[in-house]
A and B are shown apart, each in its own frame.
Chain A
Amino acid sequence: MARGSWRHALAVQAGTATAEVIPTARPAPLPRASGTAIEDRLTVLLVEDNPADARLIVETLPHDQFEVVHVPSLADATTRLGEGGIDAILLDLSLPDGVGADSIGWTLSVPPRTPVVVLTGLADETIAIQALRSGVQDYLVKGQLDGDVLPRTLRYALEREALLAEVDALRRHQLEAKDELLSHVSHELRTPLNAVYQFLTLVTDGIAGPLTSEQAEYLGIGLRNVHQLRTMISDLLEVTRLQGGSLVVVPEPTAVAPVVQDVLASLRSSALAKGVALDATPTPDLPAAYVDPQRLQQIVTNLVDNAVKFTPGGGRVVVSTARDTAAPDFIQVTVTDTGRGIAPEHVTKVFERFHQELGGTDTSRRGLGLGLYISQELVTRQGGRIWVESTPGSGSRFAFTVPVCEPNGDGRWHHGEGH
């Protein structure tokens, strides 16, 4: 992009994206599963094993408004749903192949936007409330059904389901728009940042002639800030992806120790510059982990970078890798520093978004407070967990786990399940 035009492009793009984030018109209502309108005749799937109860319900529902398809079991209901054309489901909670919690579990397999209303006896109202919490639209107590309540409940359930779907679609749309906007802004920010980096390094690399030590020092500070800005842009993008669900993690069999070594090698010179030693204590014969290698590198980089930031000169940061003694299907990576530690009231907050722990030993190195939040998300999405232990005054110990990946006898890979 030509010089000077980026600011304009940014403004234009921000304008368009805002229009997407806050739609001026309410999006058109989503069509129902079967394309019915509120006044159309509805097809209701009645899942009820008691013939007398079933007959009563069929008779209660006005025939000009409702067509009832009756099946006696969850298995039959699944088959019938597969054929399509069902607008709503009336589900008895005590069936031969599903009682209470089983039936509630089954409702999760119902096609989206098909509301479920459960039928209970007086005694199992607790389970009915449990059903509501797992997405069932409403519940009715058998024996209290009359010609008004049943049709109205079904109509309302259908309406609520459609509204929910609409809200959900809107939310997804907003997240996508935000993702797109940030991706664009990030691109536009990187272009001038790139030029600053390129020209600074032309000078620091001596290509434009020899430098005095003072000039080298000043430009070095400039470069360090360029790197910081680059990290911030990446972190912002990453957080948007985490929230929008577009973050991709691709686990594969990965040796952990070499990844740790790479991270330490890349951070060692800046750590040594402030007098902090970096060391690794690997365990021999450690199995491979089932983890995305780039993500693993990102997590370790975040933790080590953070540890260095809060460790004064003369201190030490050690990364150890070993099998998790409590959960042997996991490998535990621990980053221990000799920094000032974290106050007890902050220990639970360090993984929160935008949390800033003040008093780093290097005050020029403020970040966005996103590194640990991103690390936590990346760890949990790969089945592991992350935590911190700290003694104020003597240092912190950040640890995370990743699942072990070992070849089975049959040559296939298996890996530990989540905690």
Chain B
Amino acid sequence: MGKSAPGRKRILIVDDDDDARYAMNVRLRASGFETVYATDGVSAVKMARLTQPDLILLDLGLPAGDGFLVMERLRAFPDLACTPVIVVSARDPRVNETRALAMGALGFFEKPADNGELLDAARHAIALADARDTSTSH
């Protein structure tokens, strides 16, 4: 079972940089997604609970709990534990990528991330989650 209405998928953008969030928001909407956003670690979890997104694009350097802490908190909620997360961060991937993937992120994109690759990864992650939901509900 998909979390949002069939057809239109919802993506939660978590980023404290206003410009990055704005641009991502415009691009995702232009690509047919519904978007919601959060600007810090606490509101990210709050917003995820409230809106039940199909995918979370997560920055690492955030006020009020960094991206790693957000991932940890998400895992504590049964309805969010399986929501796919893709990390999009300006932090050094050599240090942070392994850690993010170990914590369950599906991908790590270093800012500035290639738009085409990021959108492909987003669609792929949502399709995987859908397939898993469908197989477990039968």
Binding site for B on A (CB under 8 A): 1-3, 183, 186-188, 190-195, 197-199, 201-202, 205, 207, 226, 230, 237, 241, 248
Which residues of B in the span 1-44 have a Cβ within 8 Å of any Cβ on A? Answer: 16-20, 23-24, 26-27, 30
The CA-CA distance from A190 to B112 in the complex, in Å, is 7
- A183-B92, A190-B90 known; A1 vs B16 contact (CB < 8 Å): yes
Chain B CB within 10 Å, residue with most, of A186, A192, A198, A202? A198
Given contacts A183-B92, A207-B27, A237-B92, contact A3 B18 (CB under 8 A): yes
A315 to chain B, nearest CB (A): 28
Cβ 8 A contact of A186, one of B20, B92, B115? B92
B91-A199 in contact (CB<8A)? no
Q: Known pairs A191-B20, A194-B20, A201-B27; list 19 more (Cβ under 8 Å).
A: A1-B17, A1-B61, A2-B16, A183-B92, A187-B61, A187-B91, A187-B92, A188-B90, A190-B110, A190-B112, A193-B112, A194-B111, A198-B23, A198-B24, A201-B115, A205-B115, A207-B26, A230-B112, A248-B94
| Cβ-closest chain B residue relative to A190 | B90
Are A202 and B27 neighbours in the complex by a CB distance under 8 Å?
Answer: yes
Q: Which partner residue on chain B sits nearest A247 by CB separation?
A: B94
| Minimal beta-carbon separation of B106 from chain A (angstroms) | 19
Complex contact A194–B90 (CB within 8 A): yes
Cβ of B5 to closest chain A Cβ, rounded Å: 23
With a cutoff of 8 Å between Cβ atoms, the chain B residues found around residue A248 in the complex are: 94
List the A residue with the shortest CB-CB distance to B110.
A190
A190-B112, A202-B27, A207-B30 as given contacts; A195 in contact with B90, CB under 8 Å: no
How far does the alpha carbon of A194 sit from the alpha carbon of B27 in the complex, in Å?
A: 14
A265 vs B60: C-alpha distance when bound (angstroms) = 31
Which residues in window 90-109 of B have CB below 8 A to A? 90-92, 94-95
Name which residue of chain B comes closest to A197, CB basis.
Answer: B112
Contact B20 A202 (CB under 8 A): no
| A195-B27 contact in complex given A187-B91, A201-B115, A237-B92, C-beta closer than 8 Å | no
Distance (whole angstroms) from the CB of A22 to the closest CB of chain B: 24
Within the assembled complex, what's the spacing in Å between the Cα atoms of A383 and B90? 32
Residues of chain B contacted by A195 (CB below 8 angstroms): 17, 19-20, 23
Instruction: For the complex, give the distance between the alpha carbons of A198 and B24 in Å.
Output: 7
Could you give 27 example pairs across A and B, Cβ below 8 Å?
A2-B17, A183-B95, A187-B61, A187-B90, A187-B92, A190-B90, A190-B110, A190-B111, A191-B17, A191-B111, A194-B17, A194-B20, A194-B90, A194-B111, A195-B17, A195-B23, A198-B23, A198-B24, A198-B115, A201-B115, A202-B23, A202-B26, A202-B27, A207-B26, A207-B27, A207-B30, A226-B112
Q: CB-CB < 8 A to B30: which residues of A?
A: 202, 207
Distance to closest chain A CB from B64 (angstroms): 14
Q: Within the assembled complex, what's the spacing in Å between the Cα atoms of A8 and B136?
A: 51
Interfacial chain B residues near A205, Cβ < 8 Å: 27, 115
Q: Complex: how many Å from CA A194 to CA B26?
A: 15
Neighbouring A residues of B26 by C-beta, 8 Å: 202, 207
Q: Return chain A residues, CB-CB under 8 Å to B115.
A: 198, 201, 205
Is B20 touching A198 in the complex (CB atoms < 8 A)? yes
Q: Which residue of B lies closest to A207 (CB)?
A: B30
In angstroms, Cα B115 to Cα A183, docked, is 24
CA of A207 to CA of B31, assembled, Å: 9
